[in-house]
Structure 1
Amino acid sequence: MAEITHARVLKIALPIVLSNATIPILGAVDTAVVGQIGLPAPIGAVGIGAVILSSLYWIFGFLRMGTTGLVSQAHGTGDTGEVSAGLMRALIIAGIAGLSLIVLQLPLFWAAFQLAPASDEVEGLARDYLQIRIWGAPLTISLYAFTGWLIALERTRGVLLLQVAMNALNVGLDLLFVLGFSWGVQGVAGATLISEIGGVLLALWLCRAAFAGGLWRARAIFDRVKLATMARVNTDIMLRSILLQASFTSFLFLGAGQGDVTLAANQVLLQFLQITAFALDGFAFSAESLVGQAVGAHSAARLRRASIVSSQWGIGGALVLGAVFLLAGPAIIDLMTTAPNVRIEARDYLIWIAAAPLIGGPAWMLDGIFIGATLTREMRNAMVVSVAIYTAALFVLIPLFGNHGLWAGLMILNATRGLTMARLYPRAEAKASSG
């Protein structure tokens, strides 16, 4: 197998970083295009519709991580049949999940609007948006599987091509349907649906090797042991993700209790954390792929090398981000909001944002290592412990320090995640050694 070098890590990571950089652009274009209608309701409808769907699709995000871990291990073993079968199993789950969302769309949308009520006009337009876009559910969820498969095989340039092509098609159709044909909210939804169709067609071409040579026979796909392993891995990842999302949701709700200005400041500062995640994802994904291959090859030495080299770049990136946020944070805050009181409030908590990449960096990298090694039970258990400590910290710190206590609690969550997984890291090398 090829040597694990810094150049190899960067070859995997940089396309992911560039791909992630394109993600916010699409949301901005959707908002800007529908904003040309000159009415507030369409903007709100597209926003709330997109949030509802992204929340539903997020539940199935485990397919990306689980597919990367399992397929990279099969690739490291040299089992080309299992490399193909891993993708097929994930696509079957994606199809079933997507069709279930289509069938259950009425009660799901009803429940969503009960949780996030809107005016009659906004809700009506949002329903128009949702009723078009929901037909893309099997496609969107399947893209998690395709992306995970490409990452497992270190084909992250394909991930970048897929993301850029979909976004470019979506933006072009947005302009045509909304500004050209005056289709409004339905035009935005139709543009996204067509771009999802195009994305899956491109993904099928990028992953065509998985469908070649009869490697995807039904016997391999429906192997009971492999299915049980996949179910266990994906269930652990899903539970871990739910706990993590619940922690961030609680952060938002508790921030709201500090007042409108503090809530707005926290929302601005959370965008810095999103930037951090987008930037460090590439190095975590490189760890997933290379660690998984090392486990498949039964080489603890390769796993250690993959972990160290990927983490060096990840922690280096965290240091750079921390310095940028500390030095340029005030200017970035001013770009995000023109409200003077929000600017002042956000500056008060900027020190937490500067520290966040350094405190959270180890957790992000260890997530990648554990996914590659499919130590998902350990990930889940580490998250349970971390959330329990986070919850206890909030009870103590918020009454004492207010919003500073809230931010300290979030840092404790990420620090605890990193420490608990670091303690369990030897299990990854042991798994690689055991074969």
Structure 2
Amino acid sequence: MREPIATPGRASRRDYWNVWLIAWPVILSNSTVPLLGAVDTAVMGHLPEARYMGAVTLGATIFSLIYWGFGFLRMGTTGMIAQADGAGDGDEMRAALGRALLIAFAVGLAILALQLPILWLALWIYPASAGVEELTAGYFLVRVWSAPAVLANYCFLGVFIGLSRTRAALGLQVWTNGVNIALDLLFVVGFGWDVKGVALATVIADWSAMLIGGWMVLRMVRGETTGIDWRRIFEPTALRRTFSVNGDIFIRTLCLTAGFAYFNAESARFGDVVLAANAVLMNFQHILAYGLDGFAFAAEGLIGRAIGRRDLAAYRVAVRATTVCAVAVAVLYALFYGLFGPLLIDLLTDIESVRGLARDYLPWVIVSPIISIWSFQLDGIFIGATQTRDMRNAMILSLAGLVVAILLAVPPLGNHGLWLALTLFMVVRAITLWRVYPRIGARIG
């Protein structure tokens, strides 16, 4: 659905329906992500030694951390593309994509050039047995060659979301995972290439997705002129804005990552059983994020285009429609966790001590959807508005609040204090963004 919501006044049924049409492909696409990891684990799990599975798990964790930091390529591209589309400026839309791709390929080539120091640092941070480290190195040195393609795909995903073409994003995700799974089976089961086969399957899948995604994006943003307008791409003001937006989101993402890393580190201090129980419950939070991302992504595209058109009525309707849908789904998540949470815990672990402890802390996860939805939704609104400096500052304050909350709540309350601190982290994220939220409407007006 490329056309922005334009209904004046209150959101209509059509507005809510448009939101669902944009959101459901994202939700379905996100749900396929764990499938690939499950297939990798299953393929490695049938090899004779556990070190193969450990190496793939460790290698995948390293790449997740590397690429997580560059998620700004997706988020920054979304807001800029949506606003350019709303303003009817096709030249700027193509230039915005060009700037994002320049950054993506520059960072990708830097990762390739620094692959050995990155590998050394990663293995220093995540020490393992000699056998696992040797296999992890083999996996890493193959998979690293997909870095430019992965980062370019982030830019293409930003275009799809900015234009609300989320079905294209779903199709590309299904293609990537399908190719990856098929080649996993061929290279490992068929050819016996163990961890390097898994890595090579990912490399081929990522580069094929980049080629197909690039073709799809060019069809969406092509104009009457052909060729690359380098002067528009390197226009100083626009280039500075691109770096500013991406830099703000990068800092914001680092703070968010640091917050969850601190939570996990504090979990480990309570011992193996508490660490495992918290890890089980964090899966609930990840599932929640996968589901609610669809409405945040819908908000990014719709709000960005409303701002590009300087249409305050469309902006307000987009905020209302996406938020109402997101809150409704958050309530359903809370009810689902309340009814089936113990069953989900039992599916995730067979260890009775972990099961019992996870049930003790389950109430924190049950209330999490109702509390987390506001920060998720505000993130989508601010990304669509490219109001990234406010996002950065809000996340810095939220991280500071999390640290203080853990220091004050954990000594008297133990692990309950840790979950209380994480809950307050979500509350502070929402409050700090809500305080500056009126600036977006004032900017449009």
Is 1:34 the counterpart of 2:44? The answer is yes
Q: CA deviation at 1:215?
A: 6.7
Q: Deviation digits for residues 30-55 of structure 1, max 9, x if unmatched? A: 11011111210110111111111121
Letter in structure 1 aligned against 2:231: R
- Report the counterpart of residue 83 of structure 1 in structure 2: 93
Which shows bigger deviation, 424-433 or 262-271? 424-433
| From 384, 392, 402, the counterpart of 1:380 | 392
- Assess if the C-alpha contact under 8 Å between 1:300 and 1:430 holds in 2: no
C-alpha distance in structure 2 between counterparts of 1:181 and 1:388, whole Å: 51
The equivalent of 2:24 in structure 1 is 14
Contact 1:67 1:87 in 2 (8 A): yes
Query: Residue in 2 aligned with 1:149?
Result: 159
Distance in 2, matches of 1:2 and 1:370, equals: 17
Q: Distance in 2 between matches of 1:242 and 1:164?
A: 28
Q: Is the 8 A contact 1:15 1:159 kept in 2?
A: yes
Using the alignment, how far apart are the partners of 1:310 and 1:374 within structure 2?
17
User: How many angstroms does 1:214 deviate by?
Assistant: 2.4
1:267-307 CA-partner distances (Å, limit 9, x unpaired): 00000000000000000000000110111011122111111
Provide the residue aligned with 1:431 in structure 2.
443
Match of 1:218 in 2: 230
Q: What is the alpha-carbon distance in structure 1 between the residues aligned to residue 383 and residue 314 of structure 2? A: 16
Would the aligned equivalents of 2:274 and 2:357 in 1 still touch at CA under 8 Å? yes
CA distance in 2, matches of 1:244, 1:66: 17
Q: Which runs of 4+ in 1 moved over 4 A?
A: none
Quick one: percent identity of the two aligned structures? Answer: 45
- Structure 1 residue 275 corresponds to structure 2 residue 292: no
Residues 284 and 310 of structure 1 are in contact (CA less than 8 Å); yes or no, is this contact kept in structure 2?
yes
Tell me what 1:67 maps to. 77
Identify which of 344, 357, 364 aligns with 1:352: 364
Counterpart in 2 of 1:361? 373
Q: Which amino acid aligns with 1:395?
A: L
Correspondent of 1:189 among 170, 176, 199? 199
Please report the RMSD computed on the Cα atoms of aligned residues, expressed in angstroms. 1.0
Tell me the amino acid that sits aligned with residue 135 of structure 2: L
Conserved? CA contact 1:366–1:421, under 8 Å: yes
Q: Does the 8 Å contact 2:5/2:317 carry over to 1?
A: no
Q: Which amino acid aligns with 1:315?
A: V
What is the alpha-carbon distance in structure 1 between the residues aligned to residue 27 and residue 207 of structure 2? Answer: 24
Question: Equivalent residue for 2:180?
Answer: 170
Match of 1:103 among 110, 113, 117: 113
| Distance across 2 between alignment mates of 1:136 and 1:75 | 30
Kindly provide the amino acid, as one letter, of the partner of residue 433 in structure 2: M
What's the counterpart of residue 133 of structure 2? Answer: 123
Residue 297 of structure 1 corresponds to which residue in structure 2?
309
Q: CA deviation at 1:57?
A: 1.4
Answer whether contact 2:5 2:318 (CA < 8 A) is retained. no
Aligned to 1:231: 243
Displacement, 1:392? 1.3
Specify the SS of the correspondent of 1:389: helix
Unpaired runs of 5+ residues, structure 1, are: none
Selected match of 1:246 from 258, 276, 284: 258
Tell me what 1:53 maps to: 63
Distance in 2 (CA, whole Å) between partners of 1:259 and 1:141 is 37
For each residue in 1:147-179, what CA deviation from the matched residue of structure 2 results, as whole angstroms up to 9, or x when unmatched? 001110111001000000010011001111100
Query: C-alpha separation between the residues in 2 aligned to 1:56 and 1:388?
Result: 23
Aligned counterparts of 1:57 and 1:381: Cα–Cα separation in 2 = 22
Range with greater deviation from structure 2 (208-217 or 30-39): 208-217
CA displacement at 1:2 relative to structure 2: 4.7
Aligned: 1:3 with 2:17: no
Report the counterpart of residue 407 of structure 2 in structure 1.
395
Q: 2:298 aligns with which of 277, 286, 295?
A: 286
Contact 1:81-1:216 within 8 A present in 2 as well = no
User: CA-to-partner distance for each residue in 1:346-382, whole Å, 9 max, x for gaps?
Assistant: 0000000001111110000000000111111111111
Counterpart for residue 12 of structure 2: none
Distance 2:301 2:228 in 1: 21
In the alignment, the residues of structure 1 paired with residue 320 and residue 123 of structure 2 have an alpha-carbon distance, to the nearest angstrom, of 46
| Alpha-carbon displacement from aligned partner over 1:363-414 (angstroms, at most 9, x marks no partner) | 0000000011111111111112222222111111101100000000000000
CA distance in 1, matches of 2:218, 2:74: 18
Paired residue for 1:407, among 419, 428, 436?
419
